[in-house]
Amino acid sequence: DTAVSQTPKYLVTQMGNDKSIKCEQNLGHDTMYWYKQDSKKFLKIMFSYNNKELIINETVPNRFSPKSPDKAHLNLHINSLELGDSAVYFCASSQDNWGTEAFFGQGTRLTVV
Partner 1 sequence: GENVEQHPSTLSVQEGDSAVIKCTYSDSASNYFPWYKQELGKGPQLIIDIRSNVGEKKDQRIAVTLNKTAKHFSLHITETQPEDSAVYFCAADNTGNQFYFGTGTSLTVIP
Note the residue count of the chain: 113
- 105 scored as a contact of partner 1 (CB under 8 A): yes
Is 25 an interacting residue with respect to partner 1 (CB under 8 A)? no
Q: Which of residues 52-81 bind partner 1 (CB under 8 A)?
A: 56
Nearest to 68 by CA among 80, 85, 56, 82: 56
Euclidean distance between CA atoms 36 and 39, whole angstroms: 10
**Residue among 65, 86, 97, 111 that touches partner 1 (CB under 8 A):** 97
Distance, C-alpha 54 to centroid of its chain? 13
- Contacts by 61-67 with C-beta closer than 8 Å and gap 24+? 66/34
| Binding segment toward partner 1, per CB under 8 A, in 19-27, 38-46, 66-74, 78-86 | 38-46
- Rule CB under 8 A: is residue 5 a binding residue for partner 1? no
* Interface positions with partner 1 (CB under 8 A): 4, 31, 33, 40-45, 48, 56, 90, 92, 94, 96-107
